[in-house]
Amino acid sequence: MQLLARFLTLCWFVGLAACEPAPPDLPVNDRLGGDFTLTDQDGRPWGLGDARGRVVILFFGYTHCPDICPATLARVAQVQRHLREQGAAGAVQPVFITFDPQRDTAQHLKAYLPWFKADIIGLTGSDADIRAVAQRYGVVFLKSGAADRYDFTHSDFIYLLDAQGRVRKLYPADFNIDEVVNDVQTLL
Amino acid sequence: MMFKHFSESLSALALLALASTAHAGEVTVSGAWLRAVPPVSPTMAGYFELNNDSDSAVTLNGASADFAGMAMLHGTETKADGQRSMTHVDAVTLKPGESVTFAPGGKHLMLMKLSTVPPSGEVRDICLTFTDHDDLCVPFQVRHNDPNR
């Protein structure tokens, strides 16, 4: 009882925030993920290892998708804006991998991505290389439609990777921006 | 006297007709917006709510816009395992009193073959087309975010 009284007194003096329990560590998901190298929007090889020391927000999509993909990109950009306001944007690297290398060439990604103002790395490559990376992250995608007008059925999770490149959390495409910002903070 | 009764009856009938016209509402579109996308985007998505307050069914079967070479009604379906796919929606029929919402992650208007990509803040008219109703041409505002979230 005396101990509790002392604790409460300490809280009073130090400030209540200091006495709140620390957020729990995000568990490492060792069933998904791993290193990979694809081609970035400058046409150069880019590997996950290039982001060591930075938290990575990784997601897949394609730029011809009008509904979910631009919305996800815009939400990731909002996360970056929040982190920039907190002085932490440099510690986080958003990475977008296309399912659609035929239309999403390095040149197209270079023209498309800067509009979001989030320093997003855009990655493309051969069909086989992209499929291999997707499989590592448990991402499924299936092309359908005509040769000149096709779409993809795909899973659309967003992956939070820590500074060692390990998967720490998955989010749905319509993730809560504050949740991701808070989770990123726990990994910095 | 007889003429007076006749005149009163006519007035009553006219009022009744007026009242029924006022009661039968219209087909209306509200909350129309387009998601802002980069200028090199090949497609844009449009969202809106369509309300049928008229006294007959209407069938939405497409759309047109002067800056899009093609416009289609699409649906995004989510499977149990989280995979999403886009499907072409041929038509949406609304009975009297029904409404339908085109929203992100669900039904949406897909604009393709864009001659220009209107930037955020601009307002562009898009005409919704029906099999049994005149076109409804309404302003869609280009926005970064869903105004309903």
ipTM of the complex: 0.79
Q: Does B37 touch chain A (CB under 8 A)?
A: yes
- Closest to B76 (Cβ–Cβ): which among A68, A74, A142? A68
What's the mean per-residue pLDDT of chain A? Answer: 88
Residue B48 counted as domain residue = yes
Q: Which residue has the tokens 């149990």?
A: B80
- Percent of chain A exceeding pLDDT 70 equals 87
Q: Does B42 touch chain A (CB under 8 A)?
A: yes
Compute CA distances A81 → A15, A60, A91, A122, B65, whole Å. Answer: 29, 20, 13, 18, 33
CATH code for the domain defined by A25-187: 3.40.30.10
pLDDT of residue B87: 79
Residue B94 counted as domain residue = yes
Counting one residue from chain A and one from chain B, the pairs whose CB atoms sit within 8 A come to 79
Low-confidence stretches of chain A (pLDDT beneath 50): 1, 3-4, 7-8, 10-11, 13-18
Residue B120 counted as domain residue = yes
| Cα distance from N-terminal residue to C-terminal residue, chain A | 37
Tally of domains in chain B? 1
C-alpha span between B51 and B102 (Å, rounded):
11
Print the domain residue range for B137. Answer: 24-143
Average pLDDT by stretches of 10, chain B with 149 residues: 50 43 72 96 95 96 96 83 78 96 93 95 97 95 87
Residues of chain B with Cβ-Cβ distance to A111 below 8 Å are 38, 40
pLDDT of residue B22: 36
Contact A67 B81 (CB under 8 A): no
User: For residue B148, which amino acid is it?
Assistant: N
In chain A, whose CA is at the least distance from the CA of B120? A115
C-alpha span between A175 and A76 (Å, rounded):
9
Residue B113 counted as domain residue = yes
pLDDT of residue B21: 37
B108 within 8 A of B69, measured Cβ to Cβ = no
Q: Where are the beta strands (DSSP E) in A26-161?
A: 37-39, 45-47, 55-61, 92-98, 121-123, 141-146, 149-155, 158-161
pLDDT of residue A65: 85
Residue B4 counted as domain residue = no
pLDDT of residue B16: 41
pLDDT of residue B84: 75
Q: Does A154 touch chain B (CB under 8 A)?
A: yes
pLDDT of residue A73: 93
B30 within 8 A of B47, measured Cβ to Cβ = no
- Closest to B45 (Cβ–Cβ): which among A67, A115, A173? A67
Residues of chain B with Cβ-Cβ distance to A153 below 8 Å are 83-86
B36: CATH? 2.60.40.1890
Listed by start position, the domains of chain A span 25-187
Contact B105 A67 (CB under 8 A): yes
- In angstroms, what separates the C-alpha of A105 from chain B's closest C-alpha? 13
B102 within 8 A of B49, measured Cβ to Cβ = yes
- Closest to A153 (Cβ–Cβ): which among B37, B42, B83? B83
